[in-house]
C-alpha cells in the first residue's frame, strides 16, 4: 500500500466503527450515562474484535507478527 492507500484504509476502518457505534447510540443500545471512559473502552473493544481476523493476531509467532511488534517498538507506535 502506498501512503494514500494507508490513510484511506485507516479513515474507512475507523469510520465503520464510528458509524456502527452512532447507530447503536441512536437505537438506545448505549446507555445515556456513558461518557468518554466507557465510550473509549467500547471503541477499543471494537478495534480488538476487528483485529482478530489479522494474520498477526491469528499467528502471533509468525515472522510477520514478530516484524510488526519490532516496528511498533522501534517507532514508538
Residue 16's pLDDT is 94
**pTM across the whole model:** 0.79
Residue 75's pLDDT is 97
Residue 19's pLDDT is 96
What whole-number distance in Å separates Cα of residue 34 and Cα of residue 28?
A: 12
Closest by alpha carbon to 43, among 16, 10, 7? Answer: 16
What whole-number distance in Å separates Cα of residue 38 and Cα of residue 35?
A: 6
- Looking at the structure of the chain, the number of domains it has is 1
Residue 68: give the domain boundaries: 3-74
Amino acid at each position: 500500500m502506498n501512503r494514500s492507500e494507508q490513510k484511506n484504509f485507516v479513515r474507512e476502518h475507523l469510520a465503520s466503527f464510528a458509524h456502527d457505534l452512532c447507530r447503536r447510540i441512536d437505537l438506545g443500545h448505549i446507555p445515556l450515562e456513558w461518557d468518554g471512559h466507557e465510550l473509549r473502552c467500547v471503541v477499543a473493544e471494537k478495534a480488538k474484535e476487528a483485529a482478530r481476523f489479522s494474520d498477526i493476531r491469528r499467528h502471533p509467532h509468525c515472522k510477520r507478527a514478530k516484524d510488526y511488534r519490532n516496528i511498533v517498538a522501534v517507532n514508538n507506535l
